[in-house]
Chains A and B, each alone.
Chain A
Amino acid sequence: MTRLRPIVPFAAFVALAIAVQCGTRLTGSEFRLTQLTMSLYYALVVLGLCLLMGYAGQVSLGHGAFFAAGGYTTAVLTTHDFSRHPGGPWGDWLQQAHVFVSHPDLYGNTVLTVAPWAAFIAAMLVTLVLASIIGYPALRLRGHYLAMATLGFGLIVSKMLLGSTTTGAADGINGVPEWRLPFGLVVSGKSPVRVQNYYLACCLVLLALVLLQNLVRSRVGRALLAVREREVAANALGINTAAYKLKVFVLSALLAAVAGVFFTHYTGGIGPSEAGALKSIRYVALAAAGGMANLWGVTGTSLILNYLSLRGAFGSYDNAVFGAILIMIISLAPDGPLKPLGARLARLVPGRPREKAGALPGTADCRERSGSDGAA
């Protein structure tokens, strides 16, 4: 029974995902799955932020920019016609390796674009380089330098996307092709594959949850927590805090970029608002609302709030709502609203052991007892 306990939330997630899909089928509102799928991809970004902020204690105000870095790299490479510069001497080789694919465009001309899988790899490399450049100097220092650096980075990225014709300026990029994966899976927003894409996104989030859950309950997870709690002590234990901070920052940026790539193929395009500071702050607000160091809480709040936002539930107050959430969390419940709520619920359930909640029973006694135990 206790061995199965870790699997319970994952099973609940799968059951809920299936129930939601069946529900929409029964009520004839399968169109809702589209916004849910998008919310699932956004949840990946927030999960990465949860690892970075919740566990390692480092603040990023630029995760929207990493999402956009992934999305835009894919969008540009898969829509730009390379037939005039087909990669110089490697052109033939690249085509043979299916890095370049030629296909007819809307007007019947043959265009040469990068294959989605190659664009995905390129997106990961671009994000890796960007995150390393931002993170390396900022994370060698202790304090809020990463927040500053990522905020600036996000502003620069969104202005560059707005100013460049390659990235479609204010219109962004449209007409991103579908991404054909093995096993007949297609990442695309077309309605025949809507259910399939919903489950694909669910699987990605589930995979991220499993991997992150394993990570936070391991040697690396303890090292990250140690960095958050007391960096000096972590260092004295032989933990290379600067290296861990950089690795976890790059990892969470990559997760955001993965989400960006899938999102772009799914919606068929990406716009500059995805890179904006407001989007980045929204991710932070969602992570805070989920309790920061709480993978399941963060997934839940991120799915629900993003879904409501995408359905237009907040109207023109969309960004204001997320700002308000952030302010309320910080001032009223710094641990997120779920933890106090959970504690209150636990109090309602009689007879449940609560050994981890609060102080030791009779701390004064334990102090005395520790003396005799030390000698034993």
Chain B
Amino acid sequence: MALLEVENVRRSFGGLTAVDNVTFAVQSRHIKAVIGPNGAGKTTLFNIISGLLRPQSGQVRFQGSLIGGLKPHQVARAGLSRTFQNPALFPQMTVLENVMSGRHLKTRSEFLACAMRLPWQTREEAAIRHQAMARLDYVGLAHLAAFPASALAFGQRRMVELARALAAEPRLLLLDEPASGLNTREKQDLGELISRIRNTGVTIVLVEHDMSLVMRLADEILVLHHGATIAEGTPAAIQSDPKVVSVYLGGEFQDVAPGPKS
């Protein structure tokens, strides 16, 4: 059974249909890439899956149960973590505290226990710190633990955000353009990190513009154009799909298309 099933999901803003009857499924332990030109509806689709937006019609199933229309924190509780296109760290917290806040879901001490520092709460707090440190180490930024998040370089913020998402021990990880703004070397490291994460049993869906990264990582690719699915399949199949080629090389996107227009 697929881990995530999106069925006929539709969402429009005013007259613009951002996501139009999109259907796809993600198998457990797979990496699925969602690609498409800017404005194709990729981020809207992510926002629907993670609960930030309600689908106007259609259903989202995660591990067999409906999550479409749930609040974001309920979706997260179901085992789905996400990162944002612009790393959404908490700038005034330290790097470690940012990752520690990712453990929120897996811990339970509330106002009273925290204010009174009950024995089990201090034990839990120590465990949170330990776990967060382990995730920071996993993404290779343990040495920056004590710095404020606002002091980090862009690429480092990405990694911290990834560590924070991993701290929640998700079954499914949604990565919204994880490689944008990274330099070549950082992209390479990110690719290795993503496949390492997949090898630990986490399923990954990523929106990405960097085609070499997508082709290297993805088990399956979904191509969106103007909100609708135009192709779905393995990287090899997508690369030779005439529709995809026409969308990407049809002159609409000058940054992609090598030609006299650019």
- Interface class of chain A by DSSP: helix
Cβ contacts under 8 Å, B97 to chain A: 222, 225
Cβ contacts under 8 Å, B248 to chain A: none
Are the CB atoms of B114 and A238 closer together than 8 Å? Answer: no
Interchain nearest-CB distance for B168 vs A (Å): 6
Are the CB atoms of A371 and B91 closer together than 8 Å? Answer: no
Are the CB atoms of A229 and B114 closer together than 8 Å? Answer: no
Which one of B71, B141, B151 lies within 8 Å of A235 (CB-CB)? B71
Q: Find the A residue at minimum CB distance from B142.
A: A373
- B201 within 8 A of partner (CB): no
Which one of B77, B82, B89, B140 lies within 8 Å of A375 (CB-CB)? B140
Given contacts A222-B97, A229-B92, A238-B77, contact A371 B115 (CB under 8 A): no
Q: Find the A residue at minimum CB distance from B76.
A: A238
Interchain nearest-CB distance for B100 vs A (Å): 6
Given contacts A238-B104, A356-B148, contact A376 B140 (CB under 8 A): yes
Which one of B109, B164, B193 lies within 8 Å of A220 (CB-CB)? B109
Are the CB atoms of B115 and A211 closer together than 8 Å? Answer: yes
Interchain nearest-CB distance for A201 vs B (Å): 20
Kindly name the residue among A211, A214, A215, A374 whose own CB sees the greatest number of chain B CB atoms within 10 A: A374
Q: Find the B residue at minimum CB distance from A363.
A: B153
Are the CB atoms of B148 and A370 closer together than 8 Å? Answer: no
Binds A, one of B20-28, B121-129, B249-257: B121-129
Given contacts A229-B90, A374-B139, A376-B140, contact A238 B189 (CB under 8 A): no
Contacting residues of chain B (186-224) with chain A, CB-CB under 8 angstroms: 186, 188-190, 192-193
- B17 within 8 A of partner (CB): no
Cβ contacts under 8 Å, B151 to chain A: 358-360, 363
- B66 within 8 A of partner (CB): no
Contacting residues of chain B (93-123) with chain A, CB-CB under 8 angstroms: 93-94, 97, 100-105, 107, 109-111, 114-117, 121
- B88 within 8 A of partner (CB): yes
Interchain nearest-CB distance for A93 vs B (Å): 30
Binary interface profile of A, 353-376, with partner B (CB < 8 Å = 1, else 0)? Answer: 001101110011011101111111
Task: Give the docked Cα–Cα distance between A212 and B114 (Å).
Answer: 9
Cβ contacts under 8 Å, A26 to chain B: none
- B43 within 8 A of partner (CB): no
Are the CB atoms of A236 and B50 closer together than 8 Å? Answer: yes
Are the CB atoms of A218 and B105 closer together than 8 Å? Answer: no
Are the CB atoms of A236 and B82 closer together than 8 Å? Answer: yes
Cβ contacts under 8 Å, B88 to chain A: 230, 232-233, 236
Binary interface profile of B, 158-171, with partner A (CB < 8 Å = 1, else 0)? Answer: 01000010001000
Task: Give the docked Cα–Cα distance between A226 and B220 (Å).
Answer: 35
Cβ contacts under 8 Å, A359 to chain B: 151
Which one of A225, A366, A370 lies within 8 Å of B92 (CB-CB)? A225
- B229 within 8 A of partner (CB): no
Interchain nearest-CB distance for B22 vs A (Å): 21
Are the CB atoms of B121 and A237 closer together than 8 Å? Answer: no
- B152 within 8 A of partner (CB): yes
Task: Give the docked Cα–Cα distance between A225 and B147 (Å).
Answer: 16
Are the CB atoms of B104 and A374 closer together than 8 Å? Answer: no
Interchain nearest-CB distance for B246 vs A (Å): 35
- B73 within 8 A of partner (CB): yes
Kindly name the residue among A221, A235, A251 whose own CB sees the greatest number of chain B CB atoms within 10 A: A235
Interchain nearest-CB distance for A338 vs B (Å): 16
- Interface class of chain B by DSSP: helix
Please classify how large the interface on chain A is, using the bins under 10, 10 to 19, 20 to 34, 35 or more. 35 or more
Contacting residues of chain B (228-251) with chain A, CB-CB under 8 angstroms: none
Task: Give the docked Cα–Cα distance between A229 and B164 (Å).
Answer: 15
Q: Find the A residue at minimum CB distance from B50.
A: A236
Are the CB atoms of B185 and A371 closer together than 8 Å? Answer: yes
- A24 within 8 A of partner (CB): no
- A219 within 8 A of partner (CB): yes
- A310 within 8 A of partner (CB): no
- A241 within 8 A of partner (CB): yes
Interchain nearest-CB distance for B250 vs A (Å): 35
Interchain nearest-CB distance for B70 vs A (Å): 11
Task: Give the docked Cα–Cα distance between A282 and B168 (Å).
Answer: 41
Task: Give the docked Cα–Cα distance between A199 and B31 (Å).
Answer: 63
Cβ contacts under 8 Å, B144 to chain A: 360, 366
Task: Give the docked Cα–Cα distance between A229 and B91 (Å).
Answer: 7
- B69 within 8 A of partner (CB): no
Contacting residues of chain A (288-340) with chain B, CB-CB under 8 angstroms: none
- B262 within 8 A of partner (CB): no
Interchain nearest-CB distance for B199 vs A (Å): 16
A: residues with CB less than 8 A from B are: 211-212, 214-215, 218-223, 225-226, 229-230, 232-241, 247, 251, 355-356, 358-360, 363-364, 366-368, 370-376
Show 30 residue pairs from A and B whose CB-CB distance is below 8 angstroms, ordered by the A residue: A211-B116, A218-B114, A218-B115, A218-B121, A218-B125, A219-B109, A219-B125, A219-B128, A221-B114, A222-B93, A222-B100, A229-B93, A232-B84, A234-B101, A235-B73, A236-B72, A237-B105, A239-B104, A240-B73, A247-B111, A355-B147, A360-B144, A360-B147, A360-B152, A367-B183, A368-B185, A373-B141, A374-B140, A374-B186, A375-B140
Additional A-B contact list (6), CB under 8 Å, known A225-B90, A233-B90: A222-B97, A236-B88, A237-B105, A366-B153, A370-B141, A371-B186
B: residues with CB less than 8 A from A are: 50, 52, 71-73, 76-77, 81-82, 84, 88-94, 97, 100-105, 107, 109-111, 114-117, 121, 124-125, 128, 139-141, 143-144, 146-148, 151-156, 159, 164, 168, 183, 185-186, 188-190, 192-193
